[in-house]
A and B are shown apart, each in its own frame.
Chain A
Amino acid sequence: EVQLLESGGGLVQPGGSLRLSCAASGFTFSSYAMSWVRQAPGKGPEWVSAISGNGGGTYYADSVKGRFTISRDNSKNTLSLQMNSLRVEDTAVYYCAKKLSASGTFDYWGQGTLATVSS
Chain B
Amino acid sequence: QVHLLESGPGLVKASQTLSLTCDISGDSVSNRGDAWNWLRQSPSRGLEWLGSIYFRSQWFRKYGTSAESRVTINPDTSRNQFSLEVKSVTPDDTAMYFCARGRHNGFDCWGQGILVIVSS
- Do A and B share a complex? no
Report which A residues bind B (CB closer than 8 A).
Answer: none
Report which B residues bind A (CB closer than 8 A).
Answer: none
